[in-house]
Amino acid sequence: MIQPNLTADLCLKCNICTAACPVAAATDLFPGPKAVGPQAERYRHPRLPLPDASVMWCSACGVCSRVCPHDVKVAEINTQAKARLVEERGAPLRDRLISNTELIGRLGTPLAPIANLSLRTRPVRWIMEKTIGIHREAPMPAYAGSTFRARMRRYCVEKPPEQNDASRVTVAFFHGCSTNYYEHELGRITIAVLEKLGCRVILPPQTCCGLAMQSNSLFEDARRQAQQNVALLLPFAEAGIPIVGTSTSCLLTMKYDYQATLGLSGREVELVAAQTFDVFEFITTRLRETLDGLTFEPLASRAIYHASCKLRSHDVGVPTLPVLRRIPQLEVTLSEAECCGGAGTYGMKREKYDVARQVGSPLFEQAREWGADFVISESETCRWWIAKHTRLPALHPIGVLYRAMK
């Protein structure tokens, strides 16, 4: 099991992490990941004072851990410190509400027309900001009115199917909460692309990955969700069926955070992690020959590709970009921003909204100056945040690939 706090003594105080931190650059309220992370960790003890509250400004983007030349788990140390604070002091109602994505999805789905209208109404949003602290301008997705699983019932299975066709790879699609309750079209397109590439797609039993709970420092709730998810997906992993998804944040949680941040261990957790893949990671490593045999329709457009923080932390490079560059007449440039600022539920919070917007401002300005037709990103919360602040369509790259494959 990975123990981030044990890496604190590897820190040389070089401050590379602080120089790279987008939040520290946006506000003096956050002294930087080194100061609240490995430097402070050396003085922490169960019987000594709690971590300084400034650690709560960390957005958990993970930049600090990626740039550290000595492999100090800076972001993980900070996330665990935040959880200790919340364990001692409690979490506000807002954080408990916005982190329970399954509950929000289930409650809002049957009331979709009313819920969607309410969330677009300024007086309602003003009341939400004043009462529970969700910023009035924070982007919120529209409910689809049913669940993705209900619409795609024919793909749902309870246990791994027999592998009776060696010519087709069976793929277990982890759709996550965002597709199940909001982005049905993304899920439908993903299935269509995988089938076009010769896969047999199934929808295994699954629940929320637990990332929202983890990000809001509700570790016990996050661990319960993680353990439930592992139990549901384990039979598919044991059968050698790859678990593939479009939410790169959910997938990183399953591949890495269950062990590194939440402290789960055991064969079951490790096996599910080993069988979990981002969809473009899977396409470029497992379906390369089929992809090479396809021709693509031209898409005469200019797009900015923003590789989300969570995708970069997968440690697989940027597998999406070479695929996008196969598409004729699609001019793609890389985002110059380290982070879009949204960081899951971080940008939703009243006190953090302006900081989050400042963090993402280089991307927003780049989109305007470059004249982009749309922005591409794997993370759903990044797309919602980027679309809000650029007023441009923000697309998952699987949707762009689908358009070119027609």
Q: What is the mean pLDDT of residues 23-38?
A: 92
The pLDDT score that the predictor gives to residue 1 is 55
Q: What is the mean pLDDT of residues 204-228?
A: 96
Percent of the chain with pLDDT over 90: 87
Q: Which two tokens stand for residue 158?
A: 């309870």
Tens of pLDDT, residue by residue over 139-164, are 999 999 999 999 999 999 999 998 76
Predicted confidence at residue 88, as pLDDT, reads 87
pLDDT of residue 50: 67
Quote the crossing angle between the two packed helices 397-405 and 279-286, to the nearest 10°. 50
Q: What is the pLDDT of residue 386?
A: 97
Residue 330 in this model has a pLDDT that exceeds 70? yes
Residue 87 CB neighbour total at 10 angstroms: 14
Contact between 271 and 302 (Cβ < 8 Å)? no
Give the torsion sign (CA, 130, 136, 138, 139): positive
Fold assignment, 4-89: Fumarate Reductase Iron-sulfur Protein; Chain B, domain 2 (1.10.1060)
Of 53 and 378, the one with more pLDDT: 378
Model pLDDT, residue 166:
65
pLDDT digits (tens, 9 = 90+) for 80-130: 989 989 998 899 999 999 999 999 999 999 999 999 999 999 999 999 999
Neighbours of 268 (CB within 10 A): 16
Higher pLDDT: 278 or 47? It is 278
CA R_g for the chain:
21
Q: What is the fold of 292-405?
A: Rossmann fold (3.40.50)
Q: What is the pLDDT of residue 44?
A: 67
Res 45: pLDDT: 62
Residues with Cβ within 8 Å of 22's Cβ and at least 6 positions away in sequence, in order, are 59, 61, 63, 337, 338, 339, 341, 359
User: How many alpha carbons lie under 13 Å from residue 262 in its C-beta half-sphere?
Assistant: 30
- The letter for the amino acid at 80 is Q
What pTM was estimated for this model as a whole?
0.94
For the chain, the structural domain boundaries read 4-89, 292-405
